[in-house]
């Protein structure tokens, strides 16, 4: 299974700088992602080396970078156009690097990062458990991870359907969610991958599920 190509194909209609443009002019996106920023900042403690998987255009990477005060920061995404845009836009920050890569087969040695983030990306991967095991492999012992997914509760399903069918440009995300994390599956999957759960919280009326883990 070519997991990298699956990821590329899923996002073929999504603009390279979707988040950057949306947060400038879209009130709904500002609200949704503003709450993400606040919750992630609460759990993003200092880390010298940080990996952001599914970084897209780097907007959220910048939030993580500032929150962790990282000396080495790598943003990785399967979508080449988004990575190319991020490299140009964030070029002045020499501590932030961006590269194309597959969450299922990370191009890093074991124990490379103090912290690993994956924010609203695990719903787009072909094999979540394999990806989580890769996150653990590249994480240093004692390091932490912050993972965020849609909870797929009933309210989210309604909002997501309305978004896809009626919201301007929402259609570009159709068919991109290929995994569900309903019934609290995210912490279950994290434990299966060998992580210790350090934090577990739902917000945005239960529509988003954030889990903080540790590699012990």
56-91 tens-digit pLDDT: 999 999 999 999 999 999 999 999 999 999 999 999
Q: Which residue has the tokens 């997991």?
A: 3
pLDDT band of 167, cuts 50, 70, 90: confident
Burial 201-216 (b: 16+ CB within 10 A, else e): ebebeebbbbbbbebe
C-alpha span between 206 and 194 (Å, rounded): 25
pLDDT at 194 over 70: yes
Q: What is the pLDDT of residue 3?
A: 64
For 167, the 3-state DSSP assignment is coil
Query: Which of 139, 120, 147, 132 shows the shortest CA–CA distance to 48?
Result: 139
Residue 120's domain comprises 3-214
Q: How many domains does the chain have?
A: 1
Vertex 57 angle, CA 12 and 36, to 5°: 110
State the CATH number of the domain containing residue 124.
3.40.50.150
Strands ordered across the beta sheet of 96-100: 96-100, 72-77, 49-53, 113-119, 139-150, 208-214, 196-203
- What is the predicted pLDDT for the residue at 213? 98
User: DSSP string of 62-78?
Assistant: HHHHHHHT-SEEEEEES
């Amino acid at each position: 299974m070519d997991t990298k190509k699956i990821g590329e194909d899923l996002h073929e209609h999504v603009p390279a700088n979707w988040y950057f443009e949306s947060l400038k002019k879209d009130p709904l996106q500002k609200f949704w992602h503003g709450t993400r920023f606040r919750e992630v900042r609460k759990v993003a403690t200092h880390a010298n080396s940080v990996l952001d998987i599914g970084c897209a255009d780097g907007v959220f990477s910048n939030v993580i970078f500032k929150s962790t005060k990282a000396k080495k920061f790598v943003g990785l995404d399967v979508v080449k156009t988004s990575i190319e845009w991020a490299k140009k836009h964030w070029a002045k920050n020499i501590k932030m690097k961006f590269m194309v890569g597959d969450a299922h087969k990370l191009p890093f040695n074991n124990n490379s990062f103090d912290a690993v983030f994956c924010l609203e990306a695990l719903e787009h991967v072909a094999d979540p458990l394999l990806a989580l095991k890769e996150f653990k492999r590249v994480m240093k012992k004692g390091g932490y991870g912050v993972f965020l997914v849609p909870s797929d509760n009933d309210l989210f399903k309604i909002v997501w359907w309305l978004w896809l069918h009626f919201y301007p440009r929402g259609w570009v995300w159709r068919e991109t969610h290929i995994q569900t994390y309903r019934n609290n599956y995210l912490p279950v999957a994290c434990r299966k991958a060998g992580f210790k759960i350090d934090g577990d919280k739902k917000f945005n009326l239960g529509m988003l599920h954030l889990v903080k883990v540790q590699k012990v």
